[in-house]
Structure 1
Amino acid sequence: MIKNRITEMLGVQYPIVQAPMGWIARSQLASAVSNAGAMGIIETSSGQLDEVRAEIGKMRQLTDKPFGVNVAQAFVRDPDIVQFVIDQGVKFVSTSAGDPAKYCGQLKAAGLTVFHVVPSLGAALKAIEAGVDGLIVEGGEGGGFKNPRDVATMVLLPLVCSKVDVPIIAAGGITDGRTMAAAFALGAEGVQMGTRMVSAAESPVHENWKTAIVEAKETDTVFLNRFGPGPALRALRTAKTTEYEKASPEGGVMAEFANALKLYFGGDMEASIALSGQVAGRIDSVRPVADIIRDTVREFEEVTADLGRRYGVTC
């Protein structure tokens, strides 16, 4: 067990959070993460709140450990989303893709712990002003929807940590204990894993997507839609995304997600866009979540202890 502000606030054994990927971050994956001692997250970015409600019900049957919900503001149209989250009885919520002040006060007034995802120092300071309990600082090498002016975790994380006092979860490029140790050295107290969890055995996505991650090189992601309209995003390199790297399709990149389920669960890697981080280049196998969490913590402890021995630092 690792004890710090993150584990105390979230009520987990290990300060590791599963990223809230649309359609993917549901009970099958999130319960495995929670049962392994980390923080499983249920998504709302799909906008399918009836299905999300059912998935949260399944979580109650699959785990007695803490789990949270993410509110991706840009993708949720329900004006009662805050009450929806409160009604689920969770204690932790992450907000993203929008103004941190929009929901923070209501959620905290209901007794929830609120972290906001930020891609820049300016966004971090705005979230602190809004009253969040903590931050998820996400570097541009991570998969999914991004700030078009991307900043790598190695630069962004220590910058934000030097300016704020709240606990910080690092995201972008995290896949094992070595990267977790690096994030802690830069000031984080927790880490979030996305691509590593997409490729996990309990991930519900089609095996073709998992295989593509395992076979990917570190150069096999593309940064799309830097100049809009809509958010930028990082995805696996396919024939489609290689074409869109140079110019967005007519109607915009976001229109491609109309066929997302054909890729996510049908396995047609050209049907839509497979969001993924650069860390895909370091993932070489599909593994159970429990093994991922266990080995991450073990390696984290080994790396930090080894640094202390090698450089004469008493931990």
Structure 2
Amino acid sequence: MTATSSALPAAFDNTVTRQLGVEIPIVQAPMGWIARSQLASAVSQAGAMGIIETSSGELDAVKDEIRTMKDLTDRPFGVNIAQAFVRDPSIAEFVIEQGVEFVTTSAGSPTKYTSTLKEAGLIVYHVVPTLQAALKAVDAGVDGLIVEGGEGGGFKSPTPVSTMVLLPLVCSRVDVPVIAAGGITDGATMAAAFALGAQGVQMGTRMVSAAESPVHDNWKQAIVDAAETDTVLLNQRHSPALRALKTGRTTALVDAEHNVFADFGDAKSLYYGGDMEAAIALSGQVAGRIDSVRPVADIIGDTVREFGEVVDRLAGVGSR
């Protein structure tokens, strides 16, 4: 059940929702080959912020996905520019031309695109894994930060810091709004992020397993079946590191001294073909808390409901 404006918690009327133009401060993570129109439009339609990825490097396909979003939803959506994987220097200009109003930048310096995007009137958030990176992004003029703990899936700092430590640290040192990422899957974890200073959350692994996610059912089921201990952190001798599901392929790469991106494998055979050993299946530790494949609208609606229940319960405890 999708939340309606009348049922939204008061905490959702904040800088993040106003800047992004959404009702619900939940952002879908920009996962390569996954964060495309099928998933992102469902997130936007549910009142949150759908994001189109660029980390796949397939910019022609990504550009088509951005155009398709306009046919699938009239709600706001954003685009991520993953700088380490975008080879087209005109990507910022393309995003601006498409009328996109919200951009997240990641996997590179916040100074590369921030000024160009902001001069065109866009809202820019940069993804950061450390306090130092957060301060650099603020100095570069970003509108906000996505603070990503090391328990999250995908590209990580080689020296990961948990969300419980990193989020309040960054929030205590910056004045821009913060979206929390890493370990967020429901209303309770969203409420915890707000308690630590966030004004929004980003969901990755939870959205990979959603009914509208384009990945093969084998991957969704692997997330559902996973324990909280069933991820590994790869590539810690290089950057970025990678958090992924524990499979035969990833277990063999745990102690690799070389850059494991050379062994990433055939992504499409994994993502769309369901061969769990064909490539590295990126996933966060929160897979251990996901027990079913559910529609995006239900995930977001239940998150909003539970968030409100948790906040009300804590307020009640405090008044006794």
TM interval, shorter chain, is over 0.9
Cα deviation for residue 292 of structure 1 reads 0.2
Match of 2:90 in 1: 80
Instruction: Flag as ranges the 4+ runs of structure 1 deviating above 3 A.
Output: none
Q: Does 1:69 align with 2:79?
A: yes
Q: Does 1:245 align with 2:231?
A: no
Match of 2:56 in 1: 46
Match of 1:213 in 2: 223
Q: Aligned match of 2:140 in 130, 140, 152?
A: 130
Counterparts of residues 141-290 of structure 1 (less than 5 Å): 141-228=151-238, 230-248=239-257, 252-290=259-297
Cα deviation for residue 88 of structure 1 reads 1.5
The alignment's C-alpha RMSD in Å is 1.0
Cα deviation for residue 53 of structure 1 reads 1.2
Cα deviation for residue 49 of structure 1 reads 1.3
Cα deviation for residue 255 of structure 1 reads 2.0
Gaps of at least 5 residues in structure 1 are: none
Q: Aligned match of 1:303 in 294, 310, 314?
A: 310
Cα deviation for residue 312 of structure 1 reads 1.5
- Matched to 2:297, the amino acid is A
Match of 1:24 in 2: 34
- Matched to 1:246, the amino acid is D
- Matched to 1:117, the amino acid is V
SS of the aligned residue for 2:30 comes to coil
Distance 1:75 1:246 in 2: 25
Q: Does 1:56 align with 2:66?
A: yes
Cα deviation for residue 219 of structure 1 reads 0.1
Q: Does 1:291 align with 2:298?
A: yes
Q: Aligned match of 1:139 in 136, 143, 149?
A: 149
Distance 2:305 2:160 in 1: 31
SS of the aligned residue for 1:65 comes to coil
Cα deviation for residue 246 of structure 1 reads 2.1
SS of the aligned residue for 1:154 comes to helix
Cα deviation for residue 256 of structure 1 reads 2.9
Cα deviation for residue 232 of structure 1 reads 0.5
SS of the aligned residue for 1:34 comes to helix
Percent identity at matched positions?
73
- Matched to 1:102, the amino acid is K
Tell me the TM-score normalized by structure 1: 0.97
SS of the aligned residue for 2:57 comes to coil
Report if the CA contact (8 A) 2:27-2:203 is conserved: yes
Distance 1:193 1:136 in 2: 11
Cα deviation for residue 258 of structure 1 reads 4.3
- Matched to 1:276, the amino acid is S
Report if the CA contact (8 A) 2:44-2:76 is conserved: yes
Distance 2:249 2:44 in 1: 35
Match of 1:112 in 2: 122
Distance 2:298 2:79 in 1: 23
SS of the aligned residue for 2:84 comes to helix
Distance 2:221 2:72 in 1: 27
Cα deviation for residue 188 of structure 1 reads 0.1
Cα deviation for residue 91 of structure 1 reads 0.2
